[in-house]
């Protein structure tokens, strides 16, 4: 039998070569604090600004948008331990100068924090 062939004569598929793009990167955690961001350059020269820490959120209420300071993270439904460390993710409920707000975007992916006021 020829090497690299099945008993039926068919060829075995070769395993894909490992590439640098297939590696996992360090997790980006957005904390409450002074603004820090990084510029990531991807394949095809695509650029992405990622957020590492931020204290200002773009709040929308009644069709108007405002930049407001975040005072603290109240709760995070996805993981209760994230709120204790003031880590902001999508779905986090944050305390702002205008009141409670819920984060509507993924800050670690988009480079800013978007939120909307929770009506009580």
Give me the CATH number covering residue 104: 3.10.290.70
State the total domains in the chain. Answer: 1
Task: Give the total residue count for the chain.
Answer: 120
Burial class (CB in 10 A: 0-12, 13-18, 19+), 106: middle
Question: Residue 73 has what pLDDT?
Answer: 96
Q: Is residue 78 part of a domain?
A: yes
Q: Which residues pair with 70 in a beta bridge?
A: 96
Question: Residue 56 has what pLDDT?
Answer: 96
- Mind giving me the DSSP string for 17-41? PP-GGGSPPPPP--EESS-EEEEEE
Question: Residue 2 has what pLDDT?
Answer: 67
Instruction: Quote the CA–CA distance of 103 and 80 in Å, as a whole number.
Output: 15
Q: Is residue 19 part of a domain?
A: no
**pTM greater than 0.75 (yes/no):** yes
Q: Is residue 8 part of a domain?
A: no
Q: Which residues pair with 99 in a beta bridge?
A: none
Question: Residue 94 has what pLDDT?
Answer: 96
Instruction: Indicate whether 14 pLDDT > 90.
Output: no
Quick one: pLDDT band at residue 35, thresholds 50, 70, 90?
Answer: very high
**CA distances for 33 relative to 86, 106, 118, angstroms:** 9, 17, 22
Q: Which domain holds residue 108?
A: 24-117
Quick one: pLDDT band at residue 13, thresholds 50, 70, 90?
Answer: confident
The single residue listed with the structure tokens 């005072």 is: 71
What mean pLDDT is reported for the chain? Answer: 90
Question: Residue 62 has what pLDDT?
Answer: 86
pLDDT tens track for 49-82: 999 999 999 999 888 999 999 999 999 999 999 9
């Amino acid at each position: 039998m020829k090497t690299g062939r099945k008993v039926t004569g068919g060829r075995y598929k070769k395993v894909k070569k490992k590439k640098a793009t297939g590696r996992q990167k360090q997790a980006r955690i957005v904390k409450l604090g002074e603004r820090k961001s990084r510029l990531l350059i991807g394949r095809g020269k695509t650029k992405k600004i990622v957020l590492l820490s931020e204290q200002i959120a773009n709040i929308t209420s009644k069709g108007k948008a405002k930049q407001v300071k975040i005072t603290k993270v109240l709760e995070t439904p996805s993981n209760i331990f994230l709120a204790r460390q003031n880590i902001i993710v999508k779905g986090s409920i944050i305390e702002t100068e205008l009141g409670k707000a819920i984060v509507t975007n993924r800050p670690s992916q988009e480079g800013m924090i978007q939120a909307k006021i929770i009506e009580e």
